[in-house]
Amino acid sequence: MFSLKALRTAAGIALLSAGALFSSVQAAEGQVLRVGAEPSYAPFEFMDEQTKQLTGFDIELIEAIAKAEGYSMEVSTMPFDALIPALFTNTIDVALSAMTITEERLKRVDFSEPYYESGLTILIRQEDKDKIKSVADLKNETICVQIGTTGAFYAEEQIEGSTVKQFNSAPESYLELKAGGCRAAINDRPVNDYYLATNQSAGIMSLPGTLSAENYGIAVNKGNSEILNLVNSGFAKIKADGTYDKLYQKWFGAKQ
């Protein structure tokens, strides 16, 4: 649950699941794995501006897992905080959008084996670099985050006196930071790093270090052992045959 002090921001990505996106994977058995994803979390899932297709590390990962198990894949896009409810209503079979495995989420859903190690980082405007040198300097400040993420939870629970502005997507939080609507944005390191590498991030910088260590997993409905076993089996196969390493190299470069 979000604290009462969080300022919910209505502007953002509308629910897009009505226009489900379909992958090109073919399966002889005709079995379909229904996937839920938040489409603005590059490099994990985002719309390619040229092809107008959903792409990213997560999308290619789950596509490879489905193919390894003889399934085709159907992707429905939706806001991040709609993913777990979509599992509850059986709208989707799996949810993945760089979702961190947390104790709180494990009370509601089951997770696959971890597939990516991450952590939270802080972005600030370069003009504030002499005033904000660490998370301690964000006390009583306004923080931009994405709704339902561990960055949102951290800002609410760990930064004393913070006012938390929550957005439907990471790009919206970055825009608010650039506009001066908050003093910092907290999000997952690879997503922040990807943003910093674009030409849209002029005037924005990252503080050194990470706030936490996290593992991403693929979420399934609590007790759905059939889907969980399918995902873990497919993941094991693509790790064994080198597909996972190729995808990791493509999107993130060589592992450190």
Mean pLDDT of 169-195: 95
Beta bridge partners of 207: none
Mean pLDDT of 26-37: 75
Q: What secondary structure does DSSP assign to 187-214, as a single string? A: EEHHHHHHHHTSTT-TTEEE-SS-S--E
Q: What percent of the chain has pLDDT over 90?
A: 82
Predicted confidence (pLDDT) per residue in 47-83, tens digit? 998 998 999 999 999 999 999 999 999 999 999 999 9
Query: Is 50 exceeded by the pLDDT of residue 16?
Result: no
CA torsion, ordered 215, 217, 221, 227, to nearest 10 deg: -150
Predicted confidence (pLDDT) per residue in 222-252, tens digit? 999 999 999 999 999 999 999 999 999 999 8
Q: Give residue 51's domain range.
A: 21-116+215-252
In a domain, 181, yes or no: yes
Residues 190 and 222 in one domain: no
In a domain, 10, yes or no: no
**Which pLDDT does position 15 carry in this prediction?**
34
Residues 129 and 93 in one domain: no
Cis peptide before 43 (omega within 30 of 0): yes
Q: How many domains does the chain have?
A: 2
**Which pLDDT does position 200 carry in this prediction?**
85
**Which pLDDT does position 37 carry in this prediction?**
96
pLDDT band at 39 (very low <50, low <70, confident <90, very high): very high
Residues 124 and 47 in one domain: no
The closest of 1, 9, 247, 41 to 143, measured between CA atoms, is: 9
In a domain, 5, yes or no: no
Query: Is 60 exceeded by the pLDDT of residue 3?
Result: no
Residues 34 and 94 in one domain: yes
pLDDT band at 205 (very low <50, low <70, confident <90, very high): very high
> Which segments within 48-188 are labelled E, that is strand?
54-55, 72-77, 94-95, 109-111, 116-118, 120-125, 142-146, 163-167, 184-188
Residues 133 and 66 in one domain: no
**Which pLDDT does position 199 carry in this prediction?**
79
**Which pLDDT does position 253 carry in this prediction?**
84
**Contacts of residue 41, Cβ cutoff 8 Å, sequence gap at least 6:** 56, 80, 97, 98, 169, 170, 191
Residues 145 and 110 in one domain: no
Query: Is 90 exceeded by the pLDDT of residue 140?
Result: yes
Cα separation of 164 and 5, whole Å? 7
Query: Is 90 exceeded by the pLDDT of residue 10?
Result: no
Mean pLDDT of 117-144: 96
**Which pLDDT does position 49 carry in this prediction?**
87
Residues 109 and 221 in one domain: yes
In a domain, 198, yes or no: yes
**Arithmetic mean of pLDDT over the chain:** 88
**Which pLDDT does position 88 carry in this prediction?**
97
Give the domain CATH number at 200: 3.40.190.10
Residues 127 and 175 in one domain: yes
Query: Is 90 exceeded by the pLDDT of residue 21?
Result: no
